[in-house]
Structure 1
Amino acid sequence: MKKIILFLLAGLSFYAHAQKNQPLPEHPRPDLQRDQWLNLNGYWDFTFDSSLTAPTRYAKKILVPFPWGSPLSEVKDEADVAWYHKEIKVPANWFGKRVFFNIGASDWETTLFLDGVQIGKHQGGYTPFDAELVGVKPGSVHQIAIRVDDKRRMFTLYGKQGYGNARGIWQTVYLEARGGNFIDHYAVNPDIDSKKAQVKVYLGAPASKNQEVKITLSNGQMASISIPAGKQEGAADIAVKAMRLWSLEDPYLYGLKIQSGNDVVNGYFGMRKISVVNLPGSKIPYIGLNNKPVYVQLALDQSYHPTGFYTFPSDQFMKDEIIRSKRIGLNGIRTHIKVDVPRKLYWADKLGLLVMSDLPNSWGDPEAAMQKESEYTLHEMIKRDYNHPAIFSWITFNETWGLFTHKDNKSIYTPETQKWVASVYHLAKTLDPTRLVEDNSVCCGIGHTETDINSWHAYQAGYEWDKLVGDYAAKTYPGSTWNFEKGYQQGSQPMINSEFGNVWGYQGSTGDVDYTFDYHKALNSFRNHPQMAGWLYTEHHDVINEWNGYYKFDRTEKETGLNAIVPGMSLKDFHGPFYLSTGQEITWAGKAGQQVKIPLHLSSMTNTAGSLSLKMSLSGTNAAGEKVSRWSKTSALTYVAWDVKALDSLSITLPADKSINTLAFELSDASGKVVHRNFVHLIVEEGASQPWKGQLISVPVERYSSSSWPKKQWTGVLGHKLNGAGAGYFEYEIPFPTAGAEGIKQVRFLVEASSKPILGKDRDDAGKMDGDYMLGKGTFDPGVNPNAYPQTDRYASPSKLKVSANGMVASETTLADDPADHQGILSWHYQARNNKLDEAGTYGYLVQGVIPAAAWQQAAKTGKLILRFEATEGGLSLYGDKSGRYVVDPSILIERSVSSVSH
């Protein structure tokens, strides 16, 4: 079983360097950086103490900036209030500067003391704050004490901290030398249409006299701002010469230097425009980047780390997070109900990945304290992150969490709260008119008020997508009230899915299951509906109670099985500008010779027009495990920009033999480069089962003659798969011909088999899930859910298999794992469509071997051959012709000499 403890330990081992070196030594704000600064991350004195005055003794050491309770902090979560202490020395060369103490984020009420005197207090869990160390001198030594009170308050923006609390300090702590009337922050408003950038600078205090601020761009251009006495801000417009845009393909950043007196700040910005544009030749609105539509393909990024919780262990890890998204062809992420770490946003800027940024939610009622906390945090997060070109939208609320008023055992989304939500939308638009704002990422029958994006969530089985997307597309038009609250209606907003997947699409969630099969169906369906301007998959990586990520919680890879089905295929083939879709159905089954009609649509989400080459090939595996190459043909296709068109349907005659077949599609551009791969499977249920040579004798997998599994024995895939846990065996009585034995050349056996560990759901306490699932407490067991079967990953569960015939050993081999991914086509196809899963996606290995001659010679006399499949403690699963990836039951293949066959 894939146990979470394995990757927790792996994460601790991998990041053990933090104990020896300063964690996160990089400047935390590349967008607001001064040359004179001192990183204070590392070990601090620490103790749990609720006193209002600093303790005289600290019982522990904590590794800052990891939140207490996280493994990397090296402190257990034992209380709600704690004190930090560190002796600091002001650098000797900071003459003529004001010294400030900065904390990137600390949850929730943080009080700062310098040499025993309180110098500042901050309430809030996500945004930076500072305090001036008044009177300190260069080279002087001082005592810093910090009290953090993180008692649970229902009005605070808690988000999903059940996945790992952000307790106390969780972002970098540092000293900084600033000038007299220093630069507090700045905002760059790029205007690509006019080829200029407005730079607005905010001082730390009103100017006592006219103050000049100098601005220098990395391209050598300069400008100045004159801020009059009594004013605190000013702006300058810079006509950008030889303007270079920030785009996904070329995420170019302009360096920026701002100088006010003896205070100098370095930052950056991107010349790019976020807007809403229509698809060419249509009235369908899409999200626009630089005046061109973008088909958004995003992942929900809960942005957690197994050992650092809210805090990532290294800058490289944050960079790799962005690379992981781009590697599979995504163009964006949605940082889910967490204000993310600035350096991670920096890497999104640097590498070119769009970001939706969520305001975290509370879990109480929308009372005055909650509204104040939400509006304050929204203001501060927009102020902090205004200059990140990667961010294209702000999302103020998610699924109406924290917006229900509870009274008389009822939860009501009141008209008054809806009005307030609309006002928060307008507040965000006032704070940042350059980006899109979403009032509420809606779900579960709750709708929008005022919004720039008409979003919706849907979690469901793969066989339901065509109906739902078609229905939503038909309801999307200006004036429609679908997906909006009473008194509000659609305008010309882009309609996108902002959460989907199968994780919550089955009764009680899926647990850990192969996500790729239903994902394949969903994207096939989405690409047939151009009214849908994009989608957002849940999710980027696994978390505590959701195992549907592209990556595991420790960010190791999962096996999709796509490359094994169509060589060269990967997730990127689902995320490219070109897509050949067959609709939601990706498996067809029928009798030999039956005609199957497969619809085809070509989606071209691109700014160009041209031609493509389509190669189609059919190959399969028959009931004897033999691979068969059937046919291949190539044709030409034309495409136009931003179009979805129906092609001629394919009429396929199913092959004559009982088999499972793959119809592979490969699109290539004019240069011969493959730009998209896809496939469907064709299952021949009733066809010839005899191979071209020899005699195949099979027994249905469920018709075993004997078995012994002291730990447990049961079936899966609706009875089409046998499972035995621990050490034991399944035995089959195979009928054997008593005539013609002298012509037998060789007898082989074949079976599809895998190991079979005991999963959580297989135990006596199966299905017991403790804690509030929506707050992330979950089970920590990916296999406890009744629908679960952990997807193939690097954590294998091998078993030894011995095959004997009439008591004589025919083969001994190792079954490498108990895999479950897209290759388990039969285990998916034959699932009941009842919103439940029964070991979906599971499959085994085709095990074959030669039966000793003495064994089959004995069988030729008695008319039966006893085949025993025996496993060690790793367990055993056997698959029939309606489970796994081969249409194979436990079988023998009798091969005869040519002369014998000719008679």
Structure 2
Amino acid sequence: MSSFLILLSLTAAQIPLPEHPRPDFQRADWLNLNGPWRFAFDPRDEGERLGWSRAALPGDRQIVVPFSWGAPLSGVPDSGNIGWYARQITVPDSWRGRRIFLVVGACDWRTSIWLDGKKLGEHQGGYTPFSFELPSGLRDGPHWLVLRVDDTPHPFKLEGKQGYGPARGIWQTVYLEARGGAPLAAVHVTPWRDLQGVRIDARLLEPAPRALTLSVGLTNRDGQPVFSSHLARGATSAHLEIPLPNAHRWSLDDPFLHEVTVRVTGDGLIEDRVSTYFGMRTISVVDIPGTTYPYVAINGTPVFLQLALDQAYHPGGFYTFPTDSILRDEILRAREIGLNGLREHVKIETPRKLYWADRLGVLIMADIPNWWGPPDSAAFHEHDVALRGMIDRDYNHPAIFAWVLFNETWGLISKDGNTERYLPETQARVVRDVTLAKSLDSTRLVEDNSPCCGRGHTQTDLNSWHEYLPGWRWEQRVKQVSDSTYPGSHWNFEIPWQQARQPMLNSEFGNVWGYEGSTGDVDWSWDYHRAVNAFRRHPKLAGWLYTEHHDVINEWNGYWRFDRSHKETGFRFLVDGMTLRDLHAPVYLAVGDSDLSRAARPGERVEVPLYASFLTGAAYGDSLTLRTDLRGWNSLGEAKSYGASTRRIPYRPWMSQPLPPLLATMPDEPAVLVLETTLEDTKGTVLQHNFTTFVVDGAPPDTVRLADGRRARIARVPASAVRD
């Protein structure tokens, strides 16, 4: 036992994830319980009968919390469905007189908790936080804290993609917290639609024991103003309307966060104080200027969504990332390549990752995990508990712009023999959940189901669709989708629902893994390029979402590998200075036809189509500079330049239209060519690189002139005649 106690005496630097797990709802007095705990599996489910709740766990196995058992970083292989945790805790002397709570960030699935053998409570669910109060007047410690977690499979359990690596048991930070006499359960901040103030909705954990005062201070606003409201005895909530004229707004380019301190006081009660924050921003739907095409908008300004599907899995921790800096890096990677958002896929993501999205200006689509069984009442109950918990916990994160309730009708399909159906009664149940989500949060968009494979929408704020195609099919498909998008259209909707004024966007696409007609990993960037060109030529499309941020297990479509190492796009070898970020530029010029390559004859004068997709409100004057460079390699592999040009092209914000084509003269010899384009503003700042390619057909010449001026005859030898 002494060796175990030594292991528990870790410094903050040695504790996994030592940071407070809830920057959006934080009390000053808290104690991180991450680190080594005693652990035992309970294969015969006899631990409670044998007294394990009194810390009598057998053996000396340890697990590193908060990593789920089975994850390499936990130190425990996955060899059971029921696990017991135990460790000693000591409540700091400075907390005397306070109410002490144990808080579990997330634990999958049914959790029972004891302190010194006395049961504190049970919780069922795997994705959202829960807490239990410790008995008042605890004697000096240490005390034994014991958790039993039952993760036995059930068809109605929310699993998401835990097949990549299951989140078994504790997978988010566990901590003790000192609260005041009338503790807050939640504080929600809602910006006014005109962005000139906010509404504060504060909810108490219990009815007010006496008259209370709620005080709200804005700690990083000039003058640090404080606003107050009174709660009568028995009240459970308070509401304040706070004018904040000219408040600093939150945007993708300037993600400013307003810091808030909320206090609850009353005669004879110890103060409860919580720190939170909010972003002064609104989410809405507006038409892009000069069109009737609806887009998602931040603060009334449309945003062309360029997102990635984020499986949010780590090779060592599965659901749990080993450090806060790695979480931050996941968000930064999206910004690094020019994306403006992520979809946290069938996983309720950790608050600290959402915090970094808030801080760094990356939008989030927030999914609820699915179950894999039938759409019965038990499954919908689990789903609705998670839905309520997610919105309640994550309400203040400005980065979240949409709640996604279901994905690809997983868990919503009923089987009748060999037939699978999305039944009308199930659709009606989904609509109930959309209504529930809107009642809990009217400030964001709600998507009923992110559809695929012939299924459609019911009631929804977004008209999104999934498609996995090779590059050559994208132009035709996007045109078909664009032509099918208009109010009253039944495309992508279940009967009797129909399109209204929802933004239409792709919410999953990819091209290389496991799909017929795909090109393989080595060519992913070529097909990706063709897809993005197609998207940018059709402005009805309000955005796209690529599968995926990083590779996972059997899906290798990622921008990065599973270990987050670099993938080679090849762009830099074709166009000097070009990176993946150029395909995500707000000011975008699609060059050439949809094939990205075409055959030409020697000496032919070719028209090269141009399409301007300037999906930004940025002011660059009325024109931009377009520079072109036609270069390539002849039949001897010699690099040659075949001509350059400079011209002005028109510019206006949100302009999306064809431009007069480029004229390019092909060389008089067979060659493989790259036509490079560079867009610059009036200051010479490069806004975007792009390219298209040509293959100039023809018989190679019999003689050539070498770089040093000598003439040489080309001899043709069959490959079979070559000997070492």
TM bracket (short chain): over 0.9
- The whole-number CA distance in structure 2 between the counterparts of 1:541 and 1:18 is 33
- The whole-number CA distance in structure 1 between the counterparts of 2:401 and 2:13 is 38
- The whole-number CA distance in structure 2 between the counterparts of 1:440 and 1:698 is 63
Out of 355, 365, 374, the residue aligned to residue 374 of structure 2 is 365
Who is 2:485 aligned against?
476
- The whole-number CA distance in structure 2 between the counterparts of 1:180 and 1:696 is 95
Out of 297, 302, 305, the residue aligned to residue 288 of structure 1 is 297
- 1:94-149 CA distance string (max 9 Å, x none): 02101101110011111101011111111111000111111353752100011011
Who is 1:399 aligned against?
408
Out of 660, 680, 701, the residue aligned to residue 692 of structure 2 is 680
- 1:180-238 CA distance string (max 9 Å, x none): 11011111001150501001100010112221111001211211121222220011011
Aligned-pair distance for 1:677? 0.5
Identity of aligned residues (%): 48
Who is 2:543 aligned against?
534
Q: Within 5 A, what are the aligned runs for 1:49-60?
A: 49=42, 50-53=45-48, 54=52, 55-60=56-61
Aligned-pair distance for 1:637? 1.0
Change over 3 Å in CA distance of 1:681–1:560 after alignment to 2: same
Out of 443, 453, 459, the residue aligned to residue 452 of structure 2 is 443
CA contact (8 A) 1:178 1:263 kept: yes
Q: Within 5 A, what are the aligned runs for 1:54-73?
A: 54=52, 55-73=56-74
- The whole-number CA distance in structure 2 between the counterparts of 1:589 and 1:213 is 73
Q: Within 5 A, what are the aligned runs for 1:179-198?
A: 179-198=180-199
Who is 1:592 aligned against?
602
Q: Residue 692 in 1 paired to residue 705 in 2? A: yes
CA contact (8 A) 1:591 1:687 kept: no
CA contact (8 A) 2:100 2:134 kept: yes
CA contact (8 A) 1:246 1:253 kept: yes
Who is 1:376 aligned against?
385
- The whole-number CA distance in structure 2 between the counterparts of 1:677 and 1:273 is 33
CA contact (8 A) 1:300 1:536 kept: yes
Aligned-pair distance for 1:585? 2.0
Q: Residue 576 in 1 paired to residue 585 in 2? A: yes
Aligned-pair distance for 1:631? 0.6
Change over 3 Å in CA distance of 1:19–1:39 after alignment to 2: closer
- The whole-number CA distance in structure 1 between the counterparts of 2:135 and 2:86 is 19
Aligned-pair distance for 1:66? 0.5
- 1:295-341 CA distance string (max 9 Å, x none): 00000000000111000000000111110000000000000000001
RMSD of aligned residue pairs (Cα, Å)? 1.8
Who is 1:626 aligned against?
638
Q: Matched residue of 2:94: which SS?
A: coil
CA contact (8 A) 2:195 2:281 kept: no
Q: Residue 663 in 1 paired to residue 664 in 2? A: no
Change over 3 Å in CA distance of 1:20–1:348 after alignment to 2: closer
Q: Within 5 A, what are the aligned runs for 1:764-775?
A: none
Out of 411, 415, 420, the residue aligned to residue 420 of structure 2 is 411
Who is 2:527 aligned against?
518
Aligned-pair distance for 1:344? 0.4
- The whole-number CA distance in structure 1 between the counterparts of 2:716 and 2:76 is 59
Q: Matched residue of 2:284: which SS?
A: strand
Q: Matched residue of 1:387: which SS?
A: coil
- 1:604-632 CA distance string (max 9 Å, x none): 11114531000011011112121101110
Who is 2:6 aligned against?
none
Aligned-pair distance for 1:350? 0.5
Aligned-pair distance for 1:683? 1.1
Change over 3 Å in CA distance of 1:123–1:557 after alignment to 2: same
Q: Residue 40 in 1 paired to residue 33 in 2? A: yes
How high is the TM-score relative to the length of structure 1? 0.75
- 1:573-614 CA distance string (max 9 Å, x none): 111111111342211123323443321111111114531000
Which is higher, the Rg of structure 1 or of structure 2? 1
Letter in 1 for 2:250: W
Change over 3 Å in CA distance of 1:77–1:610 after alignment to 2: same
Who is 1:311 aligned against?
320
Out of 214, 225, 233, the residue aligned to residue 229 of structure 2 is 225
Aligned-pair distance for 1:269? 0.5
Who is 1:254 aligned against?
258
- The whole-number CA distance in structure 2 between the counterparts of 1:696 and 1:274 is 68
Change over 3 Å in CA distance of 1:445–1:57 after alignment to 2: same
Q: Residue 88 in 1 paired to residue 89 in 2? A: yes
Aligned-pair distance for 1:638? 1.4
Who is 1:163 aligned against?
164
- The whole-number CA distance in structure 1 between the counterparts of 2:606 and 2:713 is 28
Aligned-pair distance for 1:699? 5.7
Who is 1:636 aligned against?
648
- The whole-number CA distance in structure 1 between the counterparts of 2:630 and 2:151 is 61
Aligned-pair distance for 1:241? 3.7
Q: Matched residue of 1:519: which SS?
A: helix
Who is 1:566 aligned against?
575
- The whole-number CA distance in structure 2 between the counterparts of 1:87 and 1:699 is 82
Gaps of 5+ in 1: 1-16, 706-731, 734-865, 869-903
Q: Within 5 A, what are the aligned runs for 1:772-811?
A: none
Who is 1:459 aligned against?
468
Q: Matched residue of 1:93: which SS?
A: helix
- 1:466-506 CA distance string (max 9 Å, x none): 11111111111111111100110111000000011103573
Aligned-pair distance for 1:559? 1.3
- The whole-number CA distance in structure 2 between the counterparts of 1:242 and 1:139 is 51
- The whole-number CA distance in structure 2 between the counterparts of 1:205 and 1:498 is 41
- The whole-number CA distance in structure 2 between the counterparts of 1:138 and 1:571 is 60
Letter in 2 for 1:395: V
CA contact (8 A) 1:95 1:138 kept: no
- The whole-number CA distance in structure 1 between the counterparts of 2:518 and 2:77 is 31
- 1:802-829 CA distance string (max 9 Å, x none): xxxxxxxxxxxxxxxxxxxxxxxxxxxx
Q: Matched residue of 1:515: which SS?
A: helix
- The whole-number CA distance in structure 1 between the counterparts of 2:176 and 2:531 is 50
- Number of residue pairs the alignment of both structures matches: 691
CA contact (8 A) 1:99 1:178 kept: yes
Q: Residue 269 in 1 paired to residue 246 in 2? A: no
Change over 3 Å in CA distance of 1:113–1:459 after alignment to 2: same
CA contact (8 A) 2:671 2:696 kept: yes
- The whole-number CA distance in structure 1 between the counterparts of 2:168 and 2:698 is 61
Out of 221, 236, 243, the residue aligned to residue 240 of structure 2 is 236
Q: Residue 645 in 1 paired to residue 653 in 2? A: no
Who is 1:612 aligned against?
624
- The whole-number CA distance in structure 1 between the counterparts of 2:137 and 2:512 is 55
- The whole-number CA distance in structure 2 between the counterparts of 1:139 and 1:391 is 43
Q: Matched residue of 1:564: which SS?
A: helix
CA contact (8 A) 1:513 1:547 kept: no
- The whole-number CA distance in structure 2 between the counterparts of 1:114 and 1:512 is 53
- The whole-number CA distance in structure 2 between the counterparts of 1:263 and 1:36 is 11
Change over 3 Å in CA distance of 1:315–1:695 after alignment to 2: same
Who is 2:5 aligned against?
none
Letter in 2 for 1:96: G
Aligned-pair distance for 1:412? 1.1
Q: Residue 203 in 1 paired to residue 204 in 2? A: yes
- 1:641-671 CA distance string (max 9 Å, x none): 2121111123433222222111000000011
- The whole-number CA distance in structure 2 between the counterparts of 1:481 and 1:695 is 66
Change over 3 Å in CA distance of 1:513–1:676 after alignment to 2: same
Q: Matched residue of 1:148: which SS?
A: strand
- 1:169-189 CA distance string (max 9 Å, x none): 000010000011101111100
Change over 3 Å in CA distance of 1:696–1:141 after alignment to 2: farther
Q: Residue 337 in 1 paired to residue 330 in 2? A: no
- 1:543-595 CA distance string (max 9 Å, x none): 00011101111111111111121111111111111111134221112332344
